[in-house]
Structure 1
Amino acid sequence: MQVFTALSFLLFSRENVDVAIVEAGLGGARDATNVIRNSELAAAVITTVGKEHLAALGGSLQSIAVAKSGIIKEGRPVVIGGPFSTDIEQIIRDRAFLTQSPVISACDTAIRSITRCIGRDYAKPYQSCDIVMKISGDMPLSVELHDVKLQLLGDHQRQNAVTASCTALCLRELGWNVSNASIRAGLEKTQLPGRSQFLTQDEASVLGLDGASTILIDGAHTEASAKALSDVIKTVEPEGPVALIVGMASDKEHLAFAAQILSGRRPDVVLLTETGIAGGTARSMPASSLRDIWTGAALGHGIECADIGAIAGDEAPNVNIDHLTPTAGTDKPAPMLIGCGAAPFSCDLMKAASRLLRRADGGGAARGGLICVTGSMHMVAAVLQQLEQ
């Protein structure tokens, strides 16, 4: 990793870049990217403090906060995203105090951000937001942005947009020429492949899908990102049928991930598979193990499951229709269908999910529902690679 970091900095130097946005790798304080000196740093940004890499960074959220605050440099401003718990934010602020660094909080009470509505542009959803801030304190910042169309969905992405706006305004305060129009354009044009990414109908057709279903790919693989994904699903598909295709690496929090997803919109179909990592599946969690975990998580949420067994290729198994529809005259929902891909993940499993959703919806073509591929960036990469071919 150190070699790649050094090569990146060498490339930045040779290309004479005006601005480099450098993401720290594992933690921050001891990461290879942290060789940047304070004279070379415009601002440091700490977005969130989560549980990923917990063991490698000291075993607690507090130790992770200490590691991340190591990117704060002497006299250089730091933008903190959040929201953070009081003790975590205090760790970051204590470090900033020691380095005499101005602190700009994206959770400042002088900031107001709301999502007005969810719209669609060429069938792809966006959230229309207002971001208004008038911050006093270490570094006074103000801006009013109305009806900002964010292509990235969810409350967490709106908070990310606020954090990015704070950073841009911080640079403006430092003498950079950053207009309000530029901030708006940056927010509206930002796309993040593999994060809340909705495929177009043309892209779905490349994968052999008929376009009846909305296709969402998201590399969520932690408990926090599962909650964010669950919120997005609830927003864009509040009532229609939902299918999840999940493959995960073996070292992730599988139960916490499943429990968080199932606490939101209950999926109608869950298909577990094995994701290819570094050309093989040795580091992938076996699909059968994921099925057992998801079945247990579903029972914990009072969700009845119907095991549909293994799925070969794009063929949906012959499940009795009686198990797919709720009993007439009762409020009891149909059982959640759960099955395993018989081979490592391929886009054929998305076709099987589409067929299962259609059968679960009584065979109607009007409501194709939503199919979400998630659990790993490797899962997302497999879909994007298929699109490129």
Structure 2
Amino acid sequence: MKLELHETDYESIAQGPLTEGCEQCVEGKKLVLFVTGVCPAKCFYCPLSPEKKMRDVVFANERELTGDDAHRLQQLFEEVRMSGAEGAGITGGDPLARLGRTCEYIRALKKEFGKDFHIHLYTTPLLVTEDSLSQLFDAGLDEIRFHPLDDEEKWSRLLLARRFSWKVGIEIPVLPDKIDDAKKLLLWAGKNKLIDFLNLNELEVSELTADEFQKKHYHVREESGYGVDGCKEAALEIMKLARTFDVPVHYCTTTLKDKYQMGNRLRRQAAQSAQAFDVVEEGLLFRGAIYHDFPPGENYQRVLKTLTPQERKNELAFLEKVVIFLKELGMPEDAGFIDELRLRIVLGAEALHELADDLSEQFPELVLAVVTEYPTSDAWIVEFNPIPKA
């Protein structure tokens, strides 16, 4: 087939068609399932936060899955429904470091949402064996993406993947000073007819990698904010070589990840999770919020996580009293609710303004605010505007 180089509608560059996993991703239809932060690789460009790096934690999008296995699965299914996801990308760490858990989640997602719920997974060669790949395939994995490291002796393990009828790809960050290494890998993969596609990611700077990137003289591309300069030129050179093997390639930019992957997911999630009283603008929720002892502030998320069950119970009991008072003022049943995760009452911003004086008089200790927040499980607040007390 003839692979035409073209700019996509998502401000990226493609040579040939995008794989199904990427198509869903750019449309915001993929749930990101982080199955563990444990990983045997030591990549200097790893962008993981201390909250996740080398920690055996599980996240579905922004939501940490906690409790026993059954409770985690319940939370996972809730997040799929809340985000309107039609597939999942499994990442880490290295998902193969917790192979049993990874396979359990793949089977559970396929059983709950059907065989067309598309699942792809990222891993390195370090933990690849024929048995581990067989378990992933039998669980229902649709697409596997390898991130080969510099250790060429382990590349041959990837050939085991061709024994199974799934899509096989290589996905690597573009290192501007390592073009020859990327070409060597591609030549090897092409010669062995290993891959169905190649994904190249624009290298991005984070707080954790900034010092190391500076040592390597990587500089931020001005118009990007945190994409590394020189990645596009390097990617185009690699894509030229890929044409000789008829391998479709996608150069995924940091702009795509922010503006389209994340932006479209937020818009879908807002449409799924918005209440009748919410105002939805560009995937963000504009709403009223009533707080008592735990309003947003420094280390807000950490404070909520460290509360004892009794502290939570006491706070929820107080919020119930506030809800009873709101109903006495005439608030309909469906005009607000107690957000048990963030220990607050959520209602329409306009309604809160109207009720503010009565609330402050009855409960002077309350913090009333209009917030603009992400429609995600962590409800990250973009704007917090307290309502002044009379």
TM-score interval, smaller chain: under 0.3
TM-score normalised by L of structure 1: 0.25
RCO (CA 8 Å, sep 6+): is it higher in 1 or 2? Answer: 2
TM-score normalised by L of structure 2: 0.25
**Structure label with greater radius of gyration:** 2
